Structure 1
Amino acid sequence: MFCFILVFWLKHSHKMELNTITFQAWNICFLLLLHVAHGDMSYSLPEELKRGSIIGNIAKDLGMETGALSSRRARTSQLCELDTASGNLLISQRIDREELCAQATACILQYQLLLEQPLQAFSIVLDITDINDNSPVFPTGEIKLDLVESTVLGRRFPLESAHDPDLGTNSVREYTLSQNDNFALEMGNQMNGNAYPELVLKKALDREAQVEHVLKINGIDGGNPARSGTASILIRVLDANDNVPVFSQRVFKASVPENSAIGTVITTLQATDLDEGVYGEITYFFSHLSDKLGGVIEIDPLSGEVRVSGVIDYEEASSHELDVQAKDGGGQASHCKLIIDVIDVNDNKPVIEIKSASSNVAEDSKPGTMVALINIYDMDTGSSGRVTCTISKNVPFKLVSEVKNYYMLVTDGILDREVQPEYNLTVTATDAGSPPLTSVKVIPIAISDINDNPPTFMQSEYNANILENQPVGTFVIKVKAEDVDDGSNAKIQYQISKDTNSEVSSFLSINSDTGEVFTSRMFDYEQSVYFQIKVTARDGGGPSLSTTCIINVFIKDQNDNAPVVLYPVQSSGYIAEDMVPAEAPRGYLVTKVVAVDADSGHNAWLSYRIIKATRPNVFMIDLHTGEIRTTRTFIEDDEPKHTIVVLVTDNGLESLSATATVSIMLGDGLPVLSELLEFADESQESDNLTLYLIIALSTVSSMFILLISGVFYFKLCRRGYVYRSTTASLPVFPTTYCPSSFADFSRCGTLLNDERYDSFMTTGSWRGDFRFASNTDTDTLKKRSAAYQKNTLRRLSADRATSLKLIGVDILTYY
């Protein structure tokens, strides 16, 4: 309603044309409504203020503290500058209303005030008021008129108006004419209500009395103080030319599309003159043509065709008002008004301006976080000026518009730098013209990393092998973890996990940067063959994230233990004697050397050799079992006591050895047992051996059951004494001759640690049995040796069947 009332008031009070009134009224209404709707800050100021003049206090008008403008990095542009310390909006350059708004009724400029952290935009509306800073100026300094002396009294001669860029009361308000007898000055009104001066003939001209009349005309504006401009009027009195050119109409209207080609005819003006000859020849020209229009529109002086002579742009001016004069050959002239409306075409692409943008967006940003502020506008009008804006599809961003022509780019989903570290968002602005024009701008957005991914080991479990006795600092293994985060969040430090047993954690050390693991002590396979340690990888984020892997460390054996002889017991004071019948045949089992090696595998495989004997070639020893047998029958010349030195060597790369001294006594009257013969009853033994092999193979196929039975057997037999037969008269070996650290479990090594040595020690043959006890000594062994030989010989026959059943277990133990 207000807008309609404003249109009506402008029409009747200013006598303006309806199109001009409507455009100006709606422009004012739009600005007022925009101010009310969006809370714009409006300031009214006169033009030509000095630089640094205060327009208003932004901080006060926004209800903010003065220091807030500085902390939020407030800024504006173009004509104004902001003093963030005081909050004052200052003039930054000369403001010339006529240059900015030309002849527009209202000169309203709109700028943006941007605040960051958080990002906000406000509109600043400046209403530039006019001051009387321009004097009226006539198009030419001298106006020439050729009047026929027969010109009738009261004849009116329109003069070109003085031009004053100022508006309202500051524009031209009156004209004065210098004192003379023939002419008077009166005002005439144009169609648009503007007044122009007319020279009126009040007294008849007499060429013979006065050929020329020189007058002065002053154009005076309504400013305070008033300004004026002067032009000379040179009137030449001619012979009779009593008809002036006459236009077909006082106001001509035409239209032309902007960007029309040069030479395009806009319209043709026509005037007629009833005179003949030179007085009837009409010439057309523009009375007043501004510098801007001088290169855009031209008129043919003879035909009156108005043509396009340059680039005509709707955005610079939507219409042009031109004064056209038609003059005949006698100097008589008439005027008309030409109004050219410029038709807008869709020749301007939408403009995309990034007012503020964040180069990095954290990947944990919540949906709705503002990333950029975009200003989009189109210089065209109507449908050609309506712009729609879109961004790339399938991206976690969207556009939100709360202020006209301004769009906020905000997050619209979950961001994950590890999936996509950056986006190149394409902003597309398309107007509604025909055909539509499109502008495109790419906004790069980098996703900044947060520590949301823990390190990940290449393997959850590592196996490492290391030889025993390696020096401290020996490289063991290298663990590696990766973190898909970036920067410090991906920098990994390694350490032994606190979950690891404190004693175990001291075995190894780790390079915190490379993950290389080194030994912190020397390892002994005989003390420990395996241990487990945990390694933690921790990133450099805040808070840091970590993960753990397991390292299984296996100690590999080296041949660092020499064989130890268990039987016969080696003592500096006494060596046990073994009895053999003097009638013993070739191949008769005399005794057995029992040795063990604390190493394992090949390093624990033992070999036996005789390196010294009282009489050579009487006894032989099995390379693998250590059984000593006769190589021939004894003769009368043989000594009754023989001493044999046996070398026991292991199978290590650099073999270690031990020696055992065996003392053998020949006994008369001792019975010869066929069971102790190596070649006795070969056919029967061959049959029995086949049976035993079948039993052994069956046992191997049932290894699981055998192992369970074995464990159960050892559990029952772990007592103070361990027996393999019920006979109590077996030879006894004191524990003082058997180190407590040796125990045979039939594993990969000969011996492993145990608290006490109380397990069964096999001789490798069913033909000899031994037991160990803690309550025996060397004297007891010496006294009982003879009885042992006799009792053993008698018992072997009775226990043969029982011994044969155990051969399968011995074979498995050997392998």
Structure 2
Amino acid sequence: MSRRSHRGWCGLMVFGMVVLVQWAGNCRAMTLNSIPLHPEPDAPIRVEDEDMVLHRHKRNWVWNQFFVLEEYTGDDPLYVGKLHSDVDKGEGRIKYVLNGEGATTIFTIDENTGDIHATKRLDREEQAYYTLRAQARDRATNLPVEPESEFVIKVQDINDNEPRFPDGPYQAQVPEMSPVGTSVVEVKATDADDPTYGNSARVVYSILEGQPYFSVEPKTGIVRTALPNMDREARDQYLLVIQAKDMGGQMGGLSGTTTVTVTLSDVNDNPPRFSRKSYQFSVPESLPVASVVAKIKALDADVGPNAEMEYRIIEGDGLGVFRVEPDKDTQEGVITLLKSLDFETKSSYSLKIEASNRHVDPRFRGQGPFSDMATVRLVIENVDEPPVFTTPVSRMVVSEAAKVGTIIGTVSAVDPDSTNSPIRYSIDRNTDLERYFNIEAASGVISTAKPLDREMNAVHNITILAIESLDPSQVGKGITLITVMDVNDNAPVFAIEYETFLCESSGPGQVIETVSAVDKDEPPSGHRFFFSLTAEAAGNHNFTLRDNKDNTGSILTKRGGFHRREQPLYRLPVLIVDSGSPSLSSTNTLSIRVCECDSDGAPQACGTEAFLLTAGLSTGALTAILACIMTLLVLVLLIVTVRRRKKEPLIVDDERDVRENIVRYDDEGGGEEDTEAFDMAALRHLNATRESKTRRDVTPDMPAVPTLYHTRPPPYKMAPDNGVFRDFIWERLKEADVDPSAPPYDSLQTYAFEGSGSAAQSLSSLESLSTDSEHNYDFLSDWGPRFKKLADLYGHAEASNIFSS
């Protein structure tokens, strides 16, 4: 029998039972319809002795609660019940009216008889009851003969809903090796049928798949373990099918199922195990320290933290040479090198390594060893190694006064291989670019190759190369630090360039300067300087020097009454001697300038120049002069900038801007055949003056006064016969002074005056040359008059210098 037909027969049986119950209720209702529903208060009940008939006060409305079976599938409307009023005498004057939930759409009433029918199939799970209102009216007047009354139609439940698992399917986890009865998960099924009526919603649980490993409690739905010692390593997952059946699990009930996936979680119940009891690896002796030598791994059937392991060396001759640590990602034991290997010293090592669980479950302590051991043999391979210096860093000392070829020290290297190849030594010139040192190739003796200077380089860091003679590709390197010891080869000098001022109001015995010294040398006991005046200056009547015994010296005045008009500058030679062996000294000149000072002793005006400049000019005049000079400088700079941008000279004469050859007569070369090109633009700046340089050690007799070119000509070096030029320039200056269109500031005027020809004509001997020469010198024939002009203006010596340069 199919589930659908089974469900139909069950519904029919229940329907039949309900019909019987309904029929009995309707009969009881019909019996009670003649009983008034609204008795008067305190109305006595009379009982007649003869027929024992109960007499009550009449009621206005007769009603009862009705029931209707859900899921009715018949063709005719389902009879629900009957309403009747005792006002109705069966004469047809009363009609019944129905209002409320489902009136006229679901429920109908016969207005003549009061019979109620259900016209549609009802579902209790959608709506369990309906509230309606009934009223009896006069058919003729349609007026109510009784007040409206309310009644309920309840939908009678049948078992038409199977149990469902709203939270399914389920995922659960339980530790492996759990004892029997360990709770795994609780499943819960719901039934939409009425739990208050019959057993339609009473659910019972059972397990369809998953025995004998798990069980389920019938009433609670709790799934528990049913088999002891379930091993995750053997099977880690189970699929259970749980059934929920209503009607208390009886025959004819409806059922639903869900699945439960149970995963066994891991516990640390397995020790680590090496796949082999012994391992062997080859290791080259040239392997650097901290390199990985080998990797071994113990296997553990557990997972996660339960499979984490620790490795350690418990014995063997490799203790202190090797170390083993676990790799956190792969759980391998990584063996690394702690010390350098040497095949010639030891060719193999043996290690006994233990692997153990890091986390041990307390439940399994004492049930067996949770570790395993294996032997690892490391075979050292011989490698051709480069030479090794007996001292990787050698320290040597040499005096900076050492002569070339002085032996400083010796380095030594050996071949660590059994071949014991001879060694040749050399200096890595990248570390000795100046080649200060040499090394003997066979012995390793280092000597000086150049004079040393500690002040330039106090320590030389050079690399020595040791090369095997049998195999030049094997090169060892060593460091040699050569410290250059200081000797007293530098004299002391002034620490700074002093600017010393002396007030005119200073009296005798006043300290005007305190000087100190520096020395490039570094004596072991520190510097000690001695200050004094030179023998020539010791007897002067102006100044004296006092050695302060603290590497400083004080300059004091011997007298007062210094005047800058008389002598604006004094030069005082100071002798400084160091304490070296042998001691060195130097003479340093201190310039002392005489100044006019204010009341606080601050210099205001120093030297004769300032005195003369300020003696005859007021502040306003000086300001005007300085402004004119600044304006002139700005104009000159602008002209120079414009000319440079145009790539033109400052003074341009397009007609004479040619390049000519100038014959030089100031050499012993090839005579007139030697010529070189010369730019004639330089000779056209004849208005430029050469500055006369004064000697610094001689006080000028006359101060240099600034010259205003607009009002006075520059002080040219005039020859006795240059009056014509002087008159010409004075006339042009007068014209410029009275010219109203001239600019209102000083400017540089340029004048060109050819003058008369020279009586000496040309000074060159070109005219006496043989005409047989293949060279033509006619283009120099006009230089005679030019030289005469230059000689008239500057003198013969200066003109010759111009031509020769």
- TM-score scaled by structure 2? 0.35
**Larger Cα-atom Rg:** 2
Bigger RCO (CA 8 Å, 6+ sep): 1
- TM-score scaled by structure 1? 0.35
Q: Report which of the two has the higher share of strand.
A: 1
